[in-house]
Structure formats: structure tokens, C-alpha cells
């Protein structure tokens, strides 16, 4: 099966998805562009179509409302867009980090191209790090990504990565404006890197508030019944209220514990039984005091499932899902439901 990833580069340990070209630290942006497969431009041409005149001759006519985007190096088509569409170049994504790496101590860690150039991203470590009880360390990152196939606005997103398991979690703070954790620039608007940095607020604020919430989750003990309710709420969009849980849901997890479960009889039953076993000790870092029998452990089980265990056609499909697609949405629901436990 063809890979989604056109190319990718990374610094440090091999990423959790195991893909990419290794680089030594402190490489210039130009080297990153070459090794990450981002050293090309998006070009465009007006759309034309072929018709026949009254004599049966083929004629080519313009369709002036739309343009086709294509790669400058291979001339491969990327998408068809309106004349109002504002494309963002691969090098613009990398240049977003230039002053941050040179002056603010950020470090580019991964960058790459998905779907033959239709989507590309760069991820940089901010230098922010925090430790929960049990020496459970998380590091702060900023992910900048865009797409030219209509699937993603240009998005700058604070992200945390839990070291023990490489789980990735987008930071979106409850009750805060979008500027607290994420900035999205639609392709109807020109991308302004400096304005995005100002809106995002490259500072410790979003990270500190996120880690405060993670600490609250790590201090919130949960029962097996609460865990069952949590996973049912995340996977099936049900109420998180324990009082509203059907006896069948609770009995299902009792069966899981005794290996009598019939996962196919429950909506998303196989997935729920998998994350329950991960929460109960099978997940990476599940036995750390920050995660064992806590709301934080529930969230970690969900993020690990989305990043590492959820069914995917390949590792690059998994990456695309975990950062931009269904996996990212699943993790966001997991975060929202976990925070309800400490509200």
C-alpha cells in the first residue's frame, strides 16, 4: 500500500510512528526543507476543459472561477480551488519557526509531507517541561500544519507529549478563547506568521494552565464504574453521569475483568475493552502514581489508544488520524470528558 507520507525528517529519538530521515540537531531551515521533502512550491494554473464545436473538433475553454494547484517539482496535481483561495507554501511552515529557534530556544523536532504534498507540518519543542507525581514527564510543543485539499485550515496548536509513551495531546483549555491553545487561519485569508504568533501567545501561559489541569486529573481517583462510564461517554457520546449508566455497561466491564466479555455486543465494545485493560495496567506508564486509578490515567489510556493502538491501514495513516483526523477528535473528546470529572 502506498504511504501517505511523501517525506519526513526528525531530530533525536525515532518518532513514535517510526518514519523519517534522521538529522543532527541545530540544522538550518534550508536543510530541514530538503530532508523533510518541503523544498518545493505550490504553483497554480487556471482550470480549462475540453469540448467539441459544431464541426466535431475538440476545443479547450477556460473555467475562470477555479484554479488547479500543483507541485513545482513533479507537477503532480494537489487540488482544485477557487480564485479566492490563499495557498500556504511548505517553506512558510518551516520559516514560521526560524526566529523561534534562533532567538527563543525552540527546537524543530519533526517536519514532513503527507498525501503527496496535500498536507504538511512541522513540530517544534518549546523547551517547556513539567513532571507529575511518579516522575511522569510531559514536554511542550507547537505544531503548525496546513493542507491544500480542503481538509485542514492552517493551524498552529500547542501540543503536549508524554515522554513515557509518546502520547500526543492537543492543548485546548476549557473556558478559554481559541488564542489560549490554537489558532486557525482559513484559506480564504492570507497566512500572516507574525500575527499568528501574537494570537497564539508564544508564552508559558497555555502550558502552565494545561499542566495545572493535568495535575488535577492526576489527583482525582476513579472507580472501575467511573472508568466504564468515562470510556462509554468518549466512544459513544453518552452521559458521563454514573447514575445514568445502564447495568449492561457496568456488567460488560465486569465481564472484561473475568475474560467473559463479548465485545461485539456493545457499541465500540472491542475498543472500550482494550482501553479498559490499558487503564488497568497494560498501558505504557499506567502503573505510575500519576495515572494508576486516576482521571489522568483514563485520559492517557485514550491518547495511547488513538496514537498507538487504534486500527489504521499504516503508520502514516495513523499519524494523519492522530494529529488531524478521527484520532485527534477522539482524544479531544477524551480530554473534555476527563475535565468534567474535576469540574
Give tens-digit pLDDT for 319-338: 888 888 899 999 999 999 99
DSSP three-state, residue 105? coil
Give tens-digit pLDDT for 296-308: 999 999 999 999 9
Residue 186 has pLDDT above 50, yes or no: yes
- The answer to whether residues 207 and 158 touch, using CB atoms and an 8 Å cutoff, is yes
- The answer to whether residues 47 and 68 touch, using CB atoms and an 8 Å cutoff, is yes
Reported as a pLDDT band with limits 50, 70 and 90, residue 243 is very low
Q: How far apart are the first and last CA of the chain?
A: 45
- The whole model's pTM is what? 0.82
Mean pLDDT (the chain) is 85
**Res 301: pLDDT:** 96
**Res 250: pLDDT:** 53
Reported as a pLDDT band with limits 50, 70 and 90, residue 166 is confident
Reported as a pLDDT band with limits 50, 70 and 90, residue 309 is confident
**Res 226: pLDDT:** 95
Residue 155 has pLDDT above 80, yes or no: yes
CA 291-297-298 angle, 5° bins: 165
Higher pLDDT, 167 or 77: 77
Write out the DSSP string of 251-296: HHHHHHHTT---GGGSTTHHHHHHHHHIIIIISTTTTSTTTTTBHH
Residues 10-25 have a mean pLDDT of 81
Amino acid at each position: 500500500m502506498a504511504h501517505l507520507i511523501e517525506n519526513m525528517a526528525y531530530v533525536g529519538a525515532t518518532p513514535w510512528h517510526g518514519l523519517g530521515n534522521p538529522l543532527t540537531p541545530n540544522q538550518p531551515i534550508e536543510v530541514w526543507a530538503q530532508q523533510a521533502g518541503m523544498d518545493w512550491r505550490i504553483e497554480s494554473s487556471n482550470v480549462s476543459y475540453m469540448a467539441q464545436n459544431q464541426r466535431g473538433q475538440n476545443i479547450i475553454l477556460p473555467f475562470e472561477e477555479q484554479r488547479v494547484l500543483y507541485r513545482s517539482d513533479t507537477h503532480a496535481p494537489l487540488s482544485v480551488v477557487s480564485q479566492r483561495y490563499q495557498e500556504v507554501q511548505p517553506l512558510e511552515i518551516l520559516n514560521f519557526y526560524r526566529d523561534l529557534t534562533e532567538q527563543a530556544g525552540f527546537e524543530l523536532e519533526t517536519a514532513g509531507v503527507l498525501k503527496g504534498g496535500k498536507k504538511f507540518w512541522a513540530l517544534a519543542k518549546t523547551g517547556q517541561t513539567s513532571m507529575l507525581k511518579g516522575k511522569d514527564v510531559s514536554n511542550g510543543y507547537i505544531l503548525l500544519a496546513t493542507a491544500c485539499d480542503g481538509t485542514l485550515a492552517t493551524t498552529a496548536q500547542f501540543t503536549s507529549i508524554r515522554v513515557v509513551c509518546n502520547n500526543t495531546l492537543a492543548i485546548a483549555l476549557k473556558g478559554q478563547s481559541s488564542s489560549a491553545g490554537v489558532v486557525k487561519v482559513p484559506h480564504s485569508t492570507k497566512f500572516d506568521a507574525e500575527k499568528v504568533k501574537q494570537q497564539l501567545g508564544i508564552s508559558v501561559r497555555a502550558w502552565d494552565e494545561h499542566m495545572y489541569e493535568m495535575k488535577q486529573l492526576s489527583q482525582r481517583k476513579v472507580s472501575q464504574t467511573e472508568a466504564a462510564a468515562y470510556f462509554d461517554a468518549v466512544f459513544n457520546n453518552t452521559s458521563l453521569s454514573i447514575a445514568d449508566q445502564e447495568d449492561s455497561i457496568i456488567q460488560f466491564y465486569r465481564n472484561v475483568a473475568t475474560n467473559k466479555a463479548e465485545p461485539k455486543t456493545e457499541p465500540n465494545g472491542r475498543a472500550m475493552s482494550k482501553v479498559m485493560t490499558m487503564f488497568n495496567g497494560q498501558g505504557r506508564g499506567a502503573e505510575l502514581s500519576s495515572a494508576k486509578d486516576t482521571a489522568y490515567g483514563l485520559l492517557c489510556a485514550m491518547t495511547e489508544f488513538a496514537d498507538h493502538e487504534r486500527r489504521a491501514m499504516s503508520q502514516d495513516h495513523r499519524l494523519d488520524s492522530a494529529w488531524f483526523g478521527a484520532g485527534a477528535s477522539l482524544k479531544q473528546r477524551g480530554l473534555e470528558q476527563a475535565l468534567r470529572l474535576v469540574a
